[in-house]
A = this chain, B = another copy of it.
């Protein structure tokens, strides 16, 4: 049997970076699991995510705020908060923590 290797979700975070960091932790035909690291990033003004896959996302460090098209209130996320974002649920990241890095775990999947 191959030796089990552990990783740590909070390790190897660069002190400075320009773009959000996306790293694939796991990928199969049906899913992709990603670590995302934000540092004050937000979706550009007027832009929306409109994804053709479902996403289950959990914020594990830092904080952030999402806004969904058609909603009146934004959704603020603190460590441990998770959300299922159905495919084509248009949304934006309004802000991410400016004081510390924000670490997300995002699971992309298809329903069938």
Contact = CB atoms under 8 A, between A and B. Distances in A.
Interface of A: 1-11, 25-26, 28-31, 33, 56, 58, 60, 66, 68-71, 75, 77-86, 89, 105, 107, 109-112
Contact of A80 (B11, B56, B83): B11
Question: Chain copies in the assembly?
Answer: 2
B56 A4 contact: no
Nearest to A79: B10
Given A4-B75, A4-B89, A80-B11, A25 B56 contact: yes
B109 A31 contact: yes
A83 B4 contact: yes
Given A56-B33, A71-B3, A109-B31, A81 B8 contact: yes
